[in-house]
Amino acid sequence: MKKYWFLIILGYLLPLIFLTYFPFVDLPQHLHLAYVLKNFKNYKDYFELRLFPMHNTFHLFFNYLLSQLISLDLSNRLYLFLIIILTFLTFYYFLKVINGEKFFALGSFLIVYNYNLFWGFMGIAFALPLIIFLFALLLNLLKEKKKREKLYLVFITIILAIIFLCHSLVFIYSVVSYLVILFFYQKPLRFRYFLPPLIILILFFIPWQISQFRREESELIAQLKENISLKAIYQNFFNFWERLGIKSDNLIIFFYKVLTLLAILLLIFNPKIFRESKALATLLIITLIFYFFFPGSYTEAVFLNERFAPLIFFFLLAFLSLGIKEKFMEYLIIGMVVINMIDLNIRFLMFEKYGRDFKKIITKLEPNKKVVGIFYERRPKPDLFGYEVFLHFPCYYQLEKGGLVGFSFAYIRYSPLIFKEDYPLERIDEWFPYRSLFPEKYKNYDYLFVTGEIRLSDEQYFRKMILIDSVGIWRVYSFKK
């Protein structure tokens, strides 16, 4: 069956090849920051840099460096390629280390387009396969004892550094899991095994926290202060499958439920597997704790615990790989993966019209203008993915034409690029921009992108504008001078 695996990998890469723009909510903002950094001489009057010791910068650095050789669009596609390929390869290696059935590695494709990727959490999306690789290296190191010990520790140190640059949240999870595994399963304890996380804590994490406290309260401390309610834990349990990836596709959610149920039944009727796979069981328990008990929200909109849901699924698949050897399971996994692949490609193909139409509008516009969007309709019709994918689409104008964007992560104090105080565009409400744009601030912009039916209360402002172009669901307005 392995000869067909390459075709499956290619099938999951196809959307990243043919799509004009991607339905990943925050991705345009991350590309916006990479564009500004690449062309910083044109933006030095508007931004200041805080690149180190800042987390959530790996996507920025990756695209900035590669875009010196190729286009920013192509470098971003390579970044996404790596997420897909590494997710499969690292989980395959993990199963090899724990002596599981390796065909279960195909199950990783069911969640490779997961919650983190669809929300455009580019650092966390890249960190997930690295975390799997980190644990595989650690378990292999403990199993092989001193054989190639120094090489393993160097690799672990590098991976932990990249995970921190991806995001502090998953870095904390990785360090906690790493240390727990060492304390419980390394006999005798060796101090040198503690060096990788200690080095990264000293070089990256602690300086980052110090820099946070110098300005205001630490972002991390503020997150940890959020309340954990019984209602949130209850919702986390019943919403688990939706929080793996696509929220609007009941067939794919059904696949998630089937595999989760199989894993639970396996552990109930064959508890010996759980007892004999202590390190894997420990990783599953730690991940469940982070998922259920980490604050469910921060500043209303950002759900933190959901970022760990895909890892739970990885470890459940790993248990299945240890307990089910029958051939029918390989056919079942392949069937699910292929159906999911077809479903995803159809959905992405349907979405392509929105991206292609938006690019048609951008192509006709003048360069280096100030742009903003008001999206009364934030999701595609039909609702293909369950995410507010249009929120940051104006950033694609900047990537094609330059200029300034109305909303930016640079408003956020822990962004690697921060607006200077004299930035010419006022801060607007990301989710409901008309609250801050109307009645006066919209005049500061050259172009206004719109989707959906205009609210009656806003029509008076649109009557003062000129409709420049309309393609598909997209409209672009300028202002009467």
Evaluate the omega torsion of the peptide bond into residue 439 and state whether it is cis, within 30 degrees of 0. yes
Rounded Cα–Cα distance for residues 354 and 474 (Å): 8
417: helix, coil or strand? Answer: strand
**What is residue 1's predicted lDDT score, i.e. its pLDDT?**
55
Q: Is residue 194 part of a domain?
A: yes
How many CA atoms, within 13 angstroms, populate the side-chain half-sphere of residue 145? 2
Phi, psi dihedrals of residue 417, rounded to the nearest 5° = -120, 125
* 239 in the same domain as 99: yes
| Rg for the chain, CA atoms, rounded | 23
**What is residue 320's predicted lDDT score, i.e. its pLDDT?**
96
* 280 in the same domain as 233: yes
C-beta atoms surrounding 257 within 10 Å? 13
| 92-120 pLDDT tens trace | 999 999 999 999 999 999 999 999 999 99
* 409 in the same domain as 300: no
> Which of the listed residues 309, 325, 341 is the one where a domain comes to its end?
325
Pairing assessment for the beta strands 447-451 and 465-471 based on DSSP bridges: unpaired
C-beta atoms surrounding 461 within 10 Å? 20
Q: Is residue 343 part of a domain?
A: no
DSSP sequence for 276-287:
H-HHHHHHHHHH
- Which is more confident, 1 or 19? 19
Contact criterion met (CB below 8 Å) for 34 and 71: no
Burial class (CB in 10 A: 0-12, 13-18, 19+), 41: exposed
H or E segment and range at residue 405: strand 404-405
* 310 in the same domain as 256: yes
* 295 in the same domain as 250: yes
**What is residue 273's predicted lDDT score, i.e. its pLDDT?**
92
pTM of the full predicted structure? 0.94
Rounded Cα–Cα distance for residues 261 and 454 (Å): 45
* 262 in the same domain as 126: yes
* 109 in the same domain as 136: yes
**What is residue 193's predicted lDDT score, i.e. its pLDDT?**
94
Burial class (CB in 10 A: 0-12, 13-18, 19+), 127: buried
Where does the pLDDT of residue 17 fall: very low under 50, low under 70, confident under 90, or very high at 90 and above? very high
pLDDT at 300 over 50: no
**What is residue 301's predicted lDDT score, i.e. its pLDDT?**
46
Tokens describing residue 341: 């692949």
476: helix, coil or strand? Answer: strand
Contact criterion met (CB below 8 Å) for 106 and 334: yes
Closest CA to 125 of 155, 170, 62: 170
Evaluate the omega torsion of the peptide bond into residue 188 and state whether it is cis, within 30 degrees of 0. yes
**What is residue 302's predicted lDDT score, i.e. its pLDDT?**
47
| Residues 6 or more apart whose Cβ sits within 8 Å of residue 429 | 435, 436
Where does the pLDDT of residue 215 fall: very low under 50, low under 70, confident under 90, or very high at 90 and above? low
**What percent of the chain has a predicted confidence (pLDDT) above 90?**
65
**What is residue 209's predicted lDDT score, i.e. its pLDDT?**
84
Q: Is residue 334 part of a domain?
A: no
Q: Is residue 333 part of a domain?
A: no
Q: Is residue 443 part of a domain?
A: yes
| 26-64 pLDDT tens trace | 999 999 999 999 999 999 988 989 888 889 999 999 999
* 357 in the same domain as 455: yes
The per-residue b/e assignment along 64-87, b for 16 or more CB within 10 angstroms, e otherwise, is bebbeeeebeebbbebbeebbebb
Of 137-141, 212-216, 471-475, the poorest mean pLDDT is in 212-216
| 159-185 pLDDT tens trace | 999 999 999 999 999 999 999 999 999
> Which of the listed residues 276, 309, 325 is the one where a domain comes to its end?
325
Pairing assessment for the beta strands 447-451 and 370-375 based on DSSP bridges: parallel
**What is residue 305's predicted lDDT score, i.e. its pLDDT?**
75
**What is residue 344's predicted lDDT score, i.e. its pLDDT?**
94
pLDDT at 304 over 80: no
* 104 in the same domain as 217: yes
* 251 in the same domain as 197: yes
**What is residue 368's predicted lDDT score, i.e. its pLDDT?**
95
Q: Is residue 337 part of a domain?
A: no
- Which range has the top average pLDDT, 38-52, 139-153, 222-236, 341-355? 341-355
* 229 in the same domain as 146: yes
Q: Is residue 474 part of a domain?
A: yes
Q: Is residue 242 part of a domain?
A: yes
Whose tokens are 């159809």? That residue is 346
**What is residue 297's predicted lDDT score, i.e. its pLDDT?**
55
Q: 389 is in which domain, residue-wise?
A: 1-49+349-481
Strand (E) positions, 144-207?
none
**What is residue 145's predicted lDDT score, i.e. its pLDDT?**
67
What's the mean pLDDT in 406-411?
A: 84
Contact criterion met (CB below 8 Å) for 169 and 177: no
* 251 in the same domain as 372: no
146: helix, coil or strand? Answer: coil
Of 387-391, 421-425, 455-459, the poorest mean pLDDT is in 421-425
pLDDT at 419 over 70: yes
**What is residue 213's predicted lDDT score, i.e. its pLDDT?**
67
What's the mean pLDDT in 141-154?
A: 85
Domains in the chain, number: 2
| 246-274 pLDDT tens trace | 887 888 889 999 999 999 999 999 999 99
| 62-79 pLDDT tens trace | 999 999 999 999 999 999
Of 94-98, 248-252, 314-318, 439-443, the poorest mean pLDDT is in 439-443
Of 222-231, 357-366, 470-479, the poorest mean pLDDT is in 222-231
C-beta atoms surrounding 216 within 10 Å? 10
